[in-house]
Structure 1
């Protein structure tokens, strides 16, 4: 079985045809809090990002893949590996399923399992971590179900909508 292919999901590299989907995601103010974004992105900037997305994770310390529904080859969202530290054998993880209609169908769970297997097998990491706002109950449950454990809390870490919010650190450690 291919590491990035599951029963319902395929994780694939970014392509030029993803520009519109990426543009809609990056400019959705509803998710700026979790992506730490404060300004919109132009299509020009995102096109440049797509052109450079083929660079190796060992060089840029990041990898973004498109989450696709295998049966329709339709893009559902993105999964990001970031702050890759080969020396310390760790990598951060972020996931977004863009449409509310596609959430709650097990796609994110399958994606987390695929990307975790990939990171442990091909990147030889010892741990994967995720930073989640304590208000994001759905993500907390998703990561717990995927074997991530709560390791700590960063108090008043995110300032959004006129107030401070705590951010939780979850880790999945390969034994």
Structure 2
């Protein structure tokens, strides 16, 4: 994969990343703003998920975000539910290393993923879902050019309250216009 930023590079997720991903996947603080289910997973469940849902899937691609300076994986960005016929996919991001939170790495990672999706894979549309309480993420997605497409009302029960699931999307031409790509 050719896409990297000043601080990050994306590399394909490998089986060797399973243990690190397992650590992030079982950290309630990491998953609080991104995962509907705050479950604790046994290592076998994570191994199976990585093996079949990421590594062997035709409809998902998972990439580790790597701090170029330290050569350390800090999180994951993925394209899931890829529909090759209609050229669309859903994207997700998790920054597992908390020392990298709030420092712009999420924006860089998402930008790299969108570059890959639209420039390399020639996808037409990328969607995402975000919890209504995650205002920082919603702000970031709007800044990247995602448009509000709707919401699923009170679809998530978290911390004793009901929250909406916000649906957002961006089209390839919108992304190209924002980046001034002809």
TM-score, normalising length: structure 2: 0.83
Aligned positions of 1:59-74 closer than 5 A:
59=58, 61-74=59-72
SS at match of 1:37: coil
Q: Does residue 1:161 correspond to 2:159, yes or no?
A: yes
Distance 1:32 1:82 in 2: 20
Q: After the TM superposition, which of the residue ranges 73-82 and 46-55 deviates more from structure 2?
A: 46-55
Q: CA deviation at 1:34?
A: 2.4
| Conservation of the 8 A alpha-carbon contact between 2:14 and 2:55 | no
Residue 142 of structure 1 aligns to a residue whose secondary structure is helix
Q: How many Å separate the matches in 2 of 1:127 and 1:120?
A: 8
Q: What is the aligned partner in structure 1 of residue 56 from structure 2?
A: 55
TM-score, length-scaled by structure 1 = 0.86
More moved, 104-113 vs 25-34:
25-34
User: Which residue of the partner structure matches residue 4 of structure 1?
Assistant: 3
Conserved? CA contact 1:81–1:92, under 8 Å: yes
Structure 1 runs (4+) greater than 4 angstroms displaced: none
Post-superposition Cα deviations, 1:95-128, rounded to whole Å, max 9, x if no partner, equal 1112332122221111111110111123221111
| CA-CA distance at 1:73 after TM superposition | 0.8
Is the aligned partner of 1:144 residue 2:142?
A: yes
Aligned length: 171
Alpha-carbon separation, structure 1, partners of 2:78 and 2:32: 15
Equivalent position SS for 2:166: strand
The residue number in structure 1 matching 2:41 is 41
Equivalent in the alignment of 2:178? none
Give the unaligned 5+ runs of structure 1: none
**Structure 2, gaps ≥5 residues long:** 174-182
Following the alignment from structure 1 to structure 2, what is the Cα–Cα distance between the partners of residues 33 and 120?
Answer: 26
**What's the RMSD between the two structures over aligned residues?**
2.0
Number of the residue aligned with 2:14:
15
